[in-house]
Amino acid sequence: MPAQDRVPAACVHYAEGKGEAARAALHAFLDALPGQAGFLGAELLLSVAQPELTLVASRWAGEVPPLPVPEGVRAWVFQVQASR
């Protein structure tokens, strides 16, 4: 595939927090993501197996821009290596 036809590497950003305050903060964080360059989509995730945990998973075209995560929230960036 010629270089100009390659799709830039995609990244996934995960932000997680515990408790009701983190859940509210991550909901606001989710609402602010669409205005960022390269944003492709995101979800706010909850699990009955871990009811105190809230996760925002967002997808990005290329590198993830600097994202100010709420206080007490942990975050990671992963580069997509394969997808189906």
Strands 74-79 and 50-61: unpaired
Please tell me the predicted confidence (pLDDT) of residue 82.
Answer: 85
pLDDT in tens, the chain (84 residues): 444 444 556 999 999 999 999 999 999 999 999 999 999 999 999 999 999 999 999 999 989 999 999 999 999 999 988 877
Please tell me the predicted confidence (pLDDT) of residue 1.
Answer: 41
Estimate to the nearest angstrom the gap between the alpha carbon of 60 and the chain centroid: 8
Please tell me the predicted confidence (pLDDT) of residue 78.
Answer: 95
Please tell me the predicted confidence (pLDDT) of residue 81.
Answer: 87
